[in-house]
Amino acid sequence: MEGRGLTVEGNDRAKRYLEQISYYRLSAYVLPLQQVKDRFTPGTTFDQLLNLYLFDRELRLLVFDEIERIEVAVRAQAIYRLSHKYGSHWQDDPNVFLPAYVNRGGITVDIFNETQAVIQEHCTSKRPETFVEHYRATYSSPANPPSWMSMELLTMGQLSRLFAGLKDNADKSGISTYFGLHHNVMTSWLHTMTYVRNICAHHSRLWNRDFGVRPDLLMKPSKPWMTTSFRRNNHRCFYFLCTLKYLLFAANPTNHFRDRLEALFRKFQDVPVRFLGIPTDRAGNHIAWQNEPLWQA
């Protein structure tokens, strides 16, 4: 790093961080600090590089926390609405789900049997969840616990697939309308949320990433949203942060997401947050995202 122009004050300290983080992981943050490939911009310090890593770490923790609130709310809405329509064990009715089909990649998608397999794996486990063990000890029929128990066994990704696999669009709409979305947009956003959740869970880089799974553009919002300048860049993190804020209107109306995000930006003032995908004007200045209707509400 020093050979490529990085200023390192206190080699022993830098080595300790590299022992804990690894050179490879930290090197993922160097590109914005290099105007020429493999050469750091003159004056760039090891602390600047380290701060990018620490900023990204705290960003992931913040995002992961907000995703949890939304995931719980989506699960609750699915349980509530589908139980009222189909009964307590709707997850055991194949007619609720799309029939098995082969997707564009040639892979068979069978949401009903996938869901059943997850539930059965937990129900037959030698060390099941306490509520599963209680159900098994108390009831012999039906074999599976009711939906409000069974749905707790699904991961975020499995919940997202279950939503996409509901056969009746009216069922999807009943859930997605609660969050102010069309069911197609909700399907896309849940898919992206699963993708980002996995990034956070595996401690991968979130800042300065082009998303491999992009959320659909929200063209007809029913709640406060963003102006035109913010609507298009859905392949970067900031657009995803906006989708979280939108979903939080329903999942946690009194949320402090904006305050927490602003506090993070203030803590790491030297971090180039433009790489999150925050738009700039013609002069290169950041457009004030805080003034957007979404973040004012």
Residues 164 and 191 in one domain: yes
Residues 276 and 243 in one domain: yes
| pLDDT reported for residue 273 | 85
Residues 36 and 61 in one domain: no
| pLDDT reported for residue 68 | 97
pLDDT band at 86 (very low <50, low <70, confident <90, very high): very high
pLDDT band at 249 (very low <50, low <70, confident <90, very high): very high
* Cα gap 26→40, rounded to integer Å: 14
pLDDT band at 55 (very low <50, low <70, confident <90, very high): very high
* Cα gap 94→104, rounded to integer Å: 23
- Within a domain: 119: no
| pLDDT reported for residue 101 | 93
* Cα gap 216→187, rounded to integer Å: 9
pLDDT band at 281 (very low <50, low <70, confident <90, very high): confident
- Within a domain: 112: no
Please give the average per-residue pLDDT across 31-53, as a whole number. 92
Buried b (16+ CB within 10 A) or exposed e, 22-61: eeeebeebbebbeeeeeebeeebebbbbbbbbebbbebbe
Please give the average per-residue pLDDT across 162-177, as a whole number. 98
Say whether 226 sits in a helix, a strand or coil: coil
The answer, yes or no, to whether residue 283 has pLDDT greater than 80, is no
In sequence order, the β-bridge partners of residue 36 are: 39
Residues 274/286, Cβ–Cβ less than 8 Å: yes
Q: Which of 226, 129, 141 is nearest to 234 (CA)?
A: 226
Residues 64 and 29 in one domain: no
* Cα gap 26→17, rounded to integer Å: 9
Residues 16 and 70 in one domain: no
The answer, yes or no, to whether residue 191 has pLDDT greater than 80, is yes
Q: How many helices (H) and strands (E) does the chain have?
A: 12, 2
Please give the average per-residue pLDDT across 190-196, as a whole number. 98
Residues 177 and 37 in one domain: no
- Within a domain: 258: yes
Residue count of the chain, please give it: 297
Give the contacts of 150 (CB within 8 A, at least 6 positions apart). 91, 119, 144
- Within a domain: 36: yes
The answer, yes or no, to whether residue 243 has pLDDT greater than 80, is yes
Domain membership of residue 19 as a residue range: 2-44
Percent of the chain clearing pLDDT 90 (strictly above): 84
The answer, yes or no, to whether residue 291 has pLDDT greater than 80, is yes
- Within a domain: 203: yes
Least confident of 20-34, 82-96, 179-193: 20-34
Q: If 0-12 CB within 10 Å is exposed, 13-18 middle and 19+ buried, where does residue 171 land?
A: buried
Residues 6 and 92 in one domain: no
Residues 38 and 178 in one domain: no
Mean pLDDT of the chain: 94
Residues 37 and 163 in one domain: no
The count of structural domains within the chain is 2
